[in-house]
Structure 1
Amino acid sequence: MDLTMTPVANASTAPPRHCRICDLASAWMPKIVLAPTFVCALLFIYGYIAWTAVLSFTPSRLMPRYEWAGLAQYEALFANERWWLALKNLAIFGGLFIVICMAVGLLLAVLLDQKVRAEGFIRSIYLYPMALSFIVTGTAWKWILNPEFGVEKVLHDWGFAGVKFDWIIDPDFSIYTVVIAGVWQSSGFVMALFLAGLRGIDDSIIKAAQVDGASLPTIYRRIIIPSLRPVFFSSFMILAHIAIKSFDLVMALTNGGPGFSSDLPATFMYTYAFTRNQIGLGASSAMVMLMIVVAVIVPFMVSELRSARRG
């Protein structure tokens, strides 16, 4: 019986039938997975920013009213003495908060970089406050700074009857209590950033400087700290963002008081938009806060990008 053999195509060279479907699936799957997140961000972040901008140009009070009011809300905002006090407090709180956090964080990072004993334990202690919410931090420091049973009471019980530390109830010093609580919570996080930057510096540069006779302070001042410029930039961005949007820390610690002496723009916006039923005024203050964020952060970002390109 004559059997003719028909050539069979090599299975390894024959293209699979479903390869085109697989290619389409692999190309579209990331887009499909990310689409809900993208849509939610577009709607609930940028959509509400746009809506807030619209409300800032309307006479809205208890409920939104979509009638054009021009710049009336912004004029009322900048004629409000409480708003100017909130901006002043933001300058005090933001400036001290950023500078002290970066100074303390850098100092702690330099100390830990000396390979001290129990470094992991000490680092965990410094980082622990960052694990707490600002509500918890504000409540704890409200107890600590309370003159009736806080630091002042403890010092009086120890015999220091002349010591007075009642900043939390003093309108002239209440904003500084917010600085104390904010620095306590955030300086450990800045320390972690600086410590990571220090551990990323090439040891050969330091050893070469030591061979040339440079002292340790000189090495840190001339070589190590200038090398941490990206860390300084990142720390500034994070701390500035925290300072400008600070709300829960102030509400838990001082509730904006005494009176409204420790008000910040975020607490001002909340008070007028949700408790005084002036949505339009609250929206205008929110838009000014957004402009402050842009005015602070964008120039630093542009400067950093230019430096990176030149480097």
Structure 2
Amino acid sequence: MSTVATTDPVLTPRQATPISLRGRLQDALPKIVLAPSFVITLVFVYGFIVWTAYLSFTNSKTFPSYALTGPRAYQRLWRWTFESDPPSSWYTSITNMAIFGFLYVGICLALGLLLAILLDQKIRGEGLLRPIFLYPMALSFIVTGVAWKWFLDPGLGLEQTLHHFGWTSFHFDWIKNKDFVIYTVVIAGVWQASGFVMAMFLAGLRGIDGEIMKAAQIDGASPLQLYRRIVIPLLRPIFLSAFIVLAHMAIKSYDLVVALTSGG
């Protein structure tokens, strides 16, 4: 009996089909759309940052000068900031910015996370509370500063109102005290931004896989351990994003300070 030998077909690599002009345009369309904004940002943001850094090493004053003088301007700034007696206004500004930035960012992160955890418990009225917490972010720093200036004024706001209700021993004059006025700026800033941070954390909490939470609960994890060991580590990208946004807002808080304290 004869047998017929069979051979498996030889698989040859499929030849790459040429990409049509339409396909190339579709692939290039995102780059074409983003190219103008990328070039504008590169030139008018980072380009001018480099140009400003270059001018800081020249003898430029009102108008730019391109004669290099080295770090002479930074040496004068250092002596004026840290070696002058009494301390310079620049040193005072740096100190106040450090106090405000540290408290503002830290309290906003803590309060925003706490509010997000509370709203994540599927409480009643969540749809009403979310816009209430977010509403202050829709206001400008000027409006926030003026409103809190009236509210904290001892002769007009909270203190005067409580005196009318009979609590005559209550005193809250931080806005008139040069040693405590920086903390009133922190209060106003936290009131405005904490709701926005809450929204960021709430979105992060809603994005966590529920199966991970259920598995931890089955293993006997307490609510504190659940948030400390699972939830908060998973929210690290949200912490970073919130920190960047808050730090940016803290640096741009000039109008809040002027509106609340009339410049100090």
1:139 match: 146
2:44 match: 44
The aligned runs of 1:216-231 (5 Å cut-off) are 216-231=223-238
Confirm whether residue 91 of structure 1 aligns to residue 98 of structure 2: yes
Write the deviation string for residues 173-220 of structure 1: whole angstroms up to 9, x where unpaired: 111111111111111111111111111222222222333333323322
The aligned runs of 1:285-300 (5 Å cut-off) are none
1:264 match: none
2:5 match: none
Using a 3 Å threshold, how does the CA distance of structure 1 residues 109 and 175 change in structure 2: closer, same or farther? same
Using a 3 Å threshold, how does the CA distance of structure 1 residues 28 and 59 change in structure 2: closer, same or farther? same
Gaps of 5+ in 2: 1-19, 82-87
Confirm whether residue 106 of structure 1 aligns to residue 109 of structure 2: no
Distance across 2 between alignment mates of 1:174 and 1:37: 41
Using a 3 Å threshold, how does the CA distance of structure 1 residues 198 and 54 change in structure 2: closer, same or farther? same
Which amino acid in structure 2 is aligned with residue 70 of structure 1?
Answer: G
How far does residue 29 in structure 1 lie from its aligned partner after superposition?
Answer: 4.7
Distance across 1 between alignment mates of 2:226 and 2:232: 8
The TM-score normalised by the length of structure 1 is: 0.69
1:169 match: 176
Quick one: percent identity of the two aligned structures? Answer: 60
The TM-score normalised by the length of structure 2 is: 0.80
Distance across 2 between alignment mates of 1:200 and 1:192: 12
Distance across 1 between alignment mates of 2:26 and 2:110: 48
1:185 match: 192
Greater relative contact order (Cα < 8 A, sep 6+):
1
Write the deviation string for residues 210-237 of structure 1: whole angstroms up to 9, x where unpaired: 3333332332233222322222222222
How far does residue 153 in structure 1 lie from its aligned partner after superposition?
Answer: 1.9
2:257 match: 250
Confirm whether residue 67 of structure 1 aligns to residue 74 of structure 2: no
The alignment yields a C-alpha RMSD, in angstroms, of: 2.2
Which amino acid in structure 2 is aligned with residue 173 of structure 1?
Answer: F
The aligned runs of 1:190-205 (5 Å cut-off) are 190-205=197-212
Q: SS of 1:236's equivalent?
A: helix
How far does residue 66 in structure 1 lie from its aligned partner after superposition?
Answer: 3.6
1:128 match: 135
Which amino acid in structure 1 is aligned with residue 248 of structure 2?
Answer: H
Using a 3 Å threshold, how does the CA distance of structure 1 residues 222 and 31 change in structure 2: closer, same or farther? closer
How far does residue 121 in structure 1 lie from its aligned partner after superposition?
Answer: 0.8
Distance across 2 between alignment mates of 1:28 and 1:115: 44
Distance across 2 between alignment mates of 1:131 and 1:243: 16
Runs of 4+ in 1 over 6 A off after TM superposition: none
Distance across 2 between alignment mates of 1:52 and 1:254: 31
Gaps of 5+ in 1: 1-18, 258-311
Aligned length: 238
Which amino acid in structure 2 is aligned with residue 36 of structure 1?
Answer: P
1:11 match: none
Distance across 2 between alignment mates of 1:205 and 1:27: 38
Which amino acid in structure 2 is aligned with residue 212 of structure 1?
Answer: D
Write the deviation string for residues 258-278 of structure 1: whole angstroms up to 9, x where unpaired: xxxxxxxxxxxxxxxxxxxxx
Confirm whether residue 158 of structure 1 aligns to residue 158 of structure 2: no
